[in-house]
C-alpha cells in the first residue's frame, strides 16, 4: 500500500509540474546575425518599431566597420525600446555564422560622423519599465562630431530611466572628438540602474572633458568599474569638468567608481583627472596621475594610488609585468567586475582583480584562447 501511494504521489507531482510548465509564459527570443550597416540599422529599427513580440532581442555583429551615415529621419544606430519588459543585447566580434564570439581577432567598430554619434540609446521615455539593454564587445569612434546642436558625446550617449537598466561592458573608445561640446567619448544620464565596466577610453577631446561623463539623479544607482581612461583633453578655455571621468550626482543617487585608472590625460596641471559633484559618490582603488585629481570631494575614497601605472607604452594601456595595478583591485566591486576583461581574458586570475580595463597575462598562458561561445 505504501509503495502504491508513493508511486501515485510521484506521478501526481510530475503531472502538476508539467501543467505549470505549460502554463508558464513563453519568452520570445530572437537572434539576428548582422554584417552590414544597413542590416544593423534594420535590426535596431525592429526593436524601436515593435515589429513582433520579442521579449529578448539579440543583435550579433560580425567583425568589421559599421558607419552611421545611412539616410534616415533619425539616428540610425539608436536603441530605444518602445514597450516594457524587453531585453535588447547588442554585441560584436562574432564569427561569420554568429555562433562563436572572438576576442583576439578583428573587433567590431561603430563609426560616427560629423552629424551622428557612433551609438546612442534611450530607456527613459517615462512610460515603459522593466527594460534592459546590454552592450558588449564594440569599438566606438568618431573623429569629428560637429552637429548644429546637441553636440555632446561623439561616441556614446544614453539615458536610463526609473525601473530600467543598462549594462555596458568591454567597449573601447578612441579618437572621439566634439569640438563644440562636452564629454567627447561618453555621456550617460541615469535615474535607473547602470553597470559600466571593462571599458577603455584612449584619446578624445571636447571643449570640456574628452572622456566619460555619468550623471546619476533621483534614485539612480551607477556602478562603474575596471575603467582605463587616458589621453583625453579639454580643448576649450574652461575645463570645469576636468578631463578623464566626470561624475555628477543629484537627489538620492549613488555612484561607485572602483578598480579604475585615470592617468595621462590633459597636460594642464589645473585640469582635474576626476571631476566630482554631489553626494553619494564612492571611490575605491582608483588610480590617478595628478596631485590635483579631484574636482570635488567623494563620500569615500578607499585606498587610492598615484604615479606611473605601468602601461606598456604611451600608446598601449596594457599592463607591464611590473605594473602596480596588477592584483591591486577589489575582488568583488559593487556591480561586479565582469567575467572577462576588454579582450576576453578571464577576470580574477591572480591573487585578486587587476585595476583597469585589461587583466595582465598569466605566466603559464592558461585561459588565453581568445574566444568564447555565447559569453555574457
Judge whether 35 lies within some domain.
no
Judge whether 179 lies within some domain.
yes
**Number of CB atoms found within 10 A of residue 75's CB:** 19
Provide the domain limits for residue 180.
114-368
Judge whether 74 lies within some domain.
no
Judge whether 272 lies within some domain.
yes
Judge whether 120 lies within some domain.
yes
The three grid cell numbers given for residue 298, joined into one nine-digit string: 567623494
Q: In Å, how far are 38, 47, 150, 307 from 228, measured between CA atoms? A: 32, 31, 26, 15
Judge whether 311 lies within some domain.
yes
- Specify the pLDDT at position 292: 61
Q: What's the predicted TM-score (pTM) here?
A: 0.89
Model confidence at 192: pLDDT above 70: yes
Model confidence at 22: pLDDT above 60: no
Judge whether 156 lies within some domain.
yes
The residue behind cell 568591454 is 170
Distance CA 188, CA 170 (A): 16
Judge whether 358 lies within some domain.
yes
Q: How many domains does one find in the chain?
A: 1
**Mean pLDDT within 357-365:** 78
Distance CA 146, CA 114 (A): 5
Read off the pLDDT of residues 82-126 as tens digits, 9 standing for 90 and up: 889 999 999 999 999 999 988 766 789 999 999 999 999 999 999
3-state secondary structure of 42: helix
- Specify the pLDDT at position 183: 94
**Number of CB atoms found within 10 A of residue 130's CB:** 14
Where does the pLDDT of residue 362 fall: very low under 50, low under 70, confident under 90, or very high at 90 and above? confident
Amino acid at each position: 500500500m505504501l509503495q502504491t501511494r508513493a508511486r501515485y504521489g510521484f506521478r501526481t507531482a510530475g503531472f502538476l509540474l508539467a501543467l505549470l510548465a505549460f502554463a508558464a509564459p513563453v519568452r520570445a527570443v530572437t537572434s539576428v546575425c548582422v554584417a552590414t550597416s544597413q542590416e544593423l540599422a534594420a535590426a535596431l529599427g525592429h526593436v524601436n518599431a515593435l515589429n513582433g513580440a520579442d521579449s529578448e532581442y539579440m543583435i550579433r555583429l560580425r567583425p568589421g566597420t559599421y558607419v552611421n551615415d545611412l539616410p534616415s529621419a533619425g539616428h540610425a544606430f539608436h536603441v530605444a525600446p518602445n514597450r516594457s519588459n524587453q531585453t535588447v543585447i547588442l554585441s560584436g566580434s562574432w564569427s561569420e555564422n554568429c555562433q562563436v564570439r572572438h576576442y583576439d581577432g578583428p573587433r567590431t567598430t561603430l563609426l560616427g560622423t560629423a552629424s551622428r554619434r557612433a551609438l546612442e540609446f534611450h530607456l527613459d521615455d517615462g512610460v515603459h519599465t522593466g527594460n534592459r539593454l546590454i552592450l558588449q564587445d564594440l569599438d566606438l569612434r568618431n573623429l569629428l562630431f560637429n552637429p548644429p546642436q546637441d553636440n555632446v558625446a561623439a561616441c556614446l550617449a544614453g539615458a536610463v530611466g526609473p525601473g530600467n537598466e543598462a549594462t555596458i561592458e568591454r567597449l573601447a573608445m578612441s579618437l572621439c572628438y566634439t569640438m563644440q561640446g562636452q564629454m567627447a567619448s561618453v555621456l550617460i544620464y541615469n535615474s535607473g540602474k547602470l553597470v559600466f565596466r571593462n571599458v577603455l577610453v584612449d584619446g578624445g577631446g571636447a571643449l570640456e572633458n574628452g572622456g566619460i561623463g555619468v550623471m546619476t539623479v533621483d534614485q539612480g544607482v551607477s556602478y562603474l568599474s575596471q575603467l582605463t581612461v587616458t589621453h583625453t583633453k579639454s580643448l576649450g578655455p574652461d575645463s570645469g569638468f576636468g578631463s578623464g571621468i566626470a561624475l555628477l550626482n543629484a537627489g538620492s543617487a549613488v555612484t561607485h567608481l572602483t578598480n579604475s585608472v585615470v592617468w595621462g590625460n590633459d597636460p594642464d596641471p589645473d585640469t582635474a583627472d576626476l571631476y566630482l559633484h554631489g553626494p553619494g559618490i564612492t571611490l575605491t582603488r582608483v588610480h590617478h596621475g595628478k596631485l590635483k585629481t579631484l574636482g570635488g570631494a567623494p563620500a569615500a575614497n578607499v585606498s587610492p594610488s598615484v604615479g606611473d601605472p605601468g602601461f606598456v607604452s604611451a600608446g598601449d594601456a596594457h599592463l607591464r609585468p611590473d605594473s602596480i595595478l596588477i592584483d591591486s583591485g577589489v575582488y568583488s566591486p559593487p556591480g561586479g567586475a565582469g567575467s572577462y576583461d576588454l579582450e576576453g581574458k578571464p577576470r580574477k586570475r591572480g591573487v585578486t582583480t587587476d585595476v583597469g580595463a585589461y587583466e595582465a597575462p598569466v605566466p603559464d598562458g592558461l585561459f588565453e584562447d581568445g574566444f568564447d561561445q555565447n559569453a555574457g
